[in-house]
């Protein structure tokens, strides 16, 4: 059986590995790249075609995967000049970005009126797992659309959960990131408080690692804290703030109190506001330490 033609927008830190795996599993792939020419050229060398616009991508492909920063970028790709919608074809759009659920729900309704379909399929894990094809995916959308895109998702994901209707995947992603980024804020403050009392990150880790409070996120966070590995968790503080801002908007829209989310968001807003938007999430520990007049780098080593 001939495999569907796949389009891909956003071959960045996560997208490059995802697109590579789609190609390696035998799907014809056309990409739309802007900034990362190195990634685009690598994919072209592997057999990908390249489109000049989102409209051209939609004209050539049956399923289009988006892996961009957020809703503003998604909406521009979909409805902007020479956007996906302008092709007038009944394509399925799979949004793997971390987007605002309210935007996702609205786009899904618009698509239904145009004979198109939308599945929101945000990701969990890191670029390392994107390259390995072992990401986690939470996918929202009608079951027939989810089943249609599942073979593509299976090329780069090891765990795929159908969360419900359109928008539910992005909602679940915000909750997932709320938990992980909340941990990042807690780790950072705990390390600073510990350092004030003479407890080094190494001592902190010797207690937490392997215990009940250990987890995969803790391990990548502390790979930076202990080893100064900048690439341990390649997710920027600016993107983290964006996601927590989406969470805040969602809480406001549903009339829900979200005091812990507000506290976590404030930590990241502080980091971004002091010039650290392009630093990665574990580096929040350095920002909080610095504001307390201490340094975690090299302590106890």
- For the domain bounded by 6-165, which CATH number is listed? 3.40.50.720
Is CATH 1.10.1040.10 correct for 171-291? yes
Q: Give residue limits of the domains in the chain.
A: 6-165, 171-291
Q: Which residues have CB under 8 Å from 257's CB, separation 6+?
A: 251
Which own/partner contact pairs does 40-46 have at CB distance under 8 Å and 24+ positions apart? Answer: 40/11, 42/16, 43/11, 43/16, 43/19, 46/20
Instruction: Report yes or no: 39 and 33 within 8 Å, Cβ to Cβ.
Output: yes
CA dist list (Å): 79 to 53, 136, 172, 218, 277 = 12, 28, 25, 39, 28
> pLDDT tens, 281-294?
999 999 999 999 99
**What's the average model confidence in pLDDT over 109-127?**
95
> pLDDT tens, 197-214?
999 999 999 999 999 999
The two three-digit tokens of residue 86, written as one number? 């302008």
> What secondary structure letter does DSSP report for 90?
-
Instruction: Report yes or no: 6 and 65 within 8 Å, Cβ to Cβ.
Output: yes
Q: What is the pTM of this model?
A: 0.91
pLDDT over 70 percentage in the chain: 98
Q: Which residues have CB under 8 Å from 225's CB, separation 6+?
A: 187, 191, 201, 205, 282, 285, 296
> pLDDT tens, 4-54?
999 999 998 899 999 999 999 999 999 997 777 899 999 999 999 999 999
> pLDDT tens, 254-280?
999 999 999 999 999 999 999 999 999
């Amino acid at each position: 059986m001939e495999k569907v033609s796949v389009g891909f927008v956003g071959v960045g830190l996560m997208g490059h590995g995802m697109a590579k795996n789609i190609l390696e599993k035998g799907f014809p792939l056309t990409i739309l790249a802007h900034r990362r020419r190195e990634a685009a050229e690598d994919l072209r060398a592997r057999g990908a075609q390249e489109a000049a616009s989102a409209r051209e991508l939609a004209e050539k492909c049956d399923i289009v995967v988006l892996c961009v920063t957020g809703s503003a970028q998604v909406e521009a790709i979909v409805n902007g000049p020479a956007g996906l919608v302008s092709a007038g074809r009944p394509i399925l759009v799979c949004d793997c970005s971390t987007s605002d659920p309210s935007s996702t729900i609205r786009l899904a309704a618009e698509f239904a009126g145009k004979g198109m379909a939308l599945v929101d399929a945000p990701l969990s894990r890191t670029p390392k797992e994107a390259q390995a094809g072992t990401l986690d995916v939470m996918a929202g959308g009608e079951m027939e659309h989810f089943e249609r895109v599942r073979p593509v998702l299976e090329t780069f994901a090891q765990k795929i959960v159908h969360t419900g209707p359109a928008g539910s995947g992005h909602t679940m992603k915000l909750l997932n990131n709320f938990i992980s980024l909340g941990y990042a804020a807690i780790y950072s403050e705990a390390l600073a408080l510990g350092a004030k009392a003479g407890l080094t990150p190494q001592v902190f880790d010797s207690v937490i690692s392997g215990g009940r409070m250990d987890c995969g996120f803790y391990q990548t966070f502390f790979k930076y804290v202990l080893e100064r590995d900048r690439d341990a968790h390649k997710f920027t503080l600016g993107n983290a703030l964006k996601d927590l801002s989406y969470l805040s908007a969602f809480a406001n829209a549903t009339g829900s109190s979200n005091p812990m989310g507000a506290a976590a968001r404030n930590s990241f807003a502080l980091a971004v506001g002091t010039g650290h938007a392009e630093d990665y999430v574990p580096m929040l520990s350095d920002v909080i330490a610095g504001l307390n007049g201490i340094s975690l780098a090299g302590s106890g080593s």
